[in-house]
Amino acid sequence: MTLDIVVLTGMSGSGKSVALNALEDAGYYCVDNLPPELLPQLIALERQRPPSEATRLLAVAVDARSAASLPQLGPVLDTLSAEGVQIRPLFLDASNEALVRRFSETRRPHPLLKRARQANDDTHPAPLDGVADDDQAQALVDTIENERELLAPLRERSAVIDTTLLRPAQLRSWVRNMVRARPSRLTLVFESFAYKHGVPLDADFVFDARMLPNPYYIKELRPLTGRDQPVADYLAAQPEASELIAQIEAFLLRWLPVMDNDQRSYVTVAIGCTGGQHRSVYCVEQLTQRFAPREVVLARHREQDAR
């Protein structure tokens, strides 16, 4: 029996609960907050099931709540991969500003900050709840930075989704698309975005399409998107657009085999324009069509999908 295991990690507040629910809806047996040292035991139990009862799809969430044993996760994943277990690490990330806002809105404590407060209560008579708001905010930012450093090795080896601007429905859709891709081949992700909302944190390569003629300034094309035929026809007639797409294609054709040989599972190519509606969307659609016969390809439109 071949086990397909998604190992979900990421920043606290980045949407792991939403992602885990999406995986459960996709048919995965999900385990939340599993200590890394127990992962081999879970897999061993699954292997003991008769084929008619075996759970072939597993999703395990591991995060900062298991901070003490997190350094063990990397070696555990290496051992399982060497034993033939198909591991798909997925990391959810978000900007510090977004994470601070989410903790403020939900009024839930950061798990590492909560632990620090408990340690403080054990050694100091005055609780941290009495500190000034500015001090509390800075303590949260420092905790987020500490968590980011703690999780950096896991992020490096994982497919990354930046949830900074994603609605829950978008995140669920992106997670489902990720796990549907065949895990045995490198997956190429093209993502359009708007520079005015920031560059995606999950991008491995970023290309700028803002130098192309902008359909936004043509009255008939303004309400349309790069997926609409009139916009596609307009940009296809622009030599600069064809040249930019051809150059991105040539770059990827040169370096994707190298990344594939380096055991990369996912490569995210982000293409941005001002509003994320016309030029970047068109480029992503064109590149997706060109690479679909060669690679496992996913297309995302950050601003478009949020509509």
Give the best-scoring range by mean pLDDT among 3-12, 107-116, 210-219, 254-263. Answer: 210-219
Tell me, yes or no, whether 159 and 25 share the same domain. Answer: yes
Alpha-carbon distance of 175 to 189, in angstroms, equals 12
- The predicted pLDDT at position 117 comes to 57
CB 38 within 8 A of CB 27: no
150 falls within a domain: no
Tell me, yes or no, whether 237 and 171 share the same domain. Answer: no
Alpha-carbon distance of 91 to 201, in angstroms, equals 11
Tell me, yes or no, whether 175 and 196 share the same domain. Answer: no
- The predicted pLDDT at position 51 comes to 67
**Mean per-residue pLDDT of the chain:** 88
Tell me, yes or no, whether 138 and 240 share the same domain. Answer: no
Tell me, yes or no, whether 64 and 20 share the same domain. Answer: yes
Tell me, yes or no, whether 105 and 67 share the same domain. Answer: no
9 falls within a domain: yes
**How many beta carbons lie within 10 A of that of residue 169, not counting itself?**
12
CB 21 within 8 A of CB 176: no
The mean pLDDT of 210-225, rounded to a whole number, is: 97
- For residue 296, give its domain range: 187-305
Higher model confidence: residue 66 or residue 2?
66
CATH number of 172's domain: 3.40.50.300
Tell me, yes or no, whether 109 and 47 share the same domain. Answer: no
Tell me, yes or no, whether 242 and 279 share the same domain. Answer: yes
Is residue 250 over pLDDT 80?
yes
Tell me, yes or no, whether 211 and 241 share the same domain. Answer: yes
- The predicted pLDDT at position 128 comes to 40
Tell me, yes or no, whether 89 and 139 share the same domain. Answer: no
pTM across the whole model = 0.84
Higher model confidence: residue 131 or residue 274?
274
**Stretch among 43-57, 156-170, 197-211, 260-274 having the lowest mean pLDDT:** 43-57
Tell me, yes or no, whether 159 and 53 share the same domain. Answer: yes
The mean pLDDT of 187-210, rounded to a whole number, is: 96
Alpha-carbon distance of 204 to 188, in angstroms, equals 10
The mean pLDDT of 296-307, rounded to a whole number, is: 88
Domain tally, the chain: 3
Give the tens place of pLDDT for each residue, 68-127.
Answer: 788 889 899 999 888 888 889 999 999 999 999 998 888 888 888 766 555 555 444 444
With a pLDDT cut of 90, the percent of the chain lying above it is: 60
- The predicted pLDDT at position 1 comes to 58
∠ CA 181-157-60, nearest 5°, is: 65
Tell me, yes or no, whether 78 and 174 share the same domain. Answer: yes
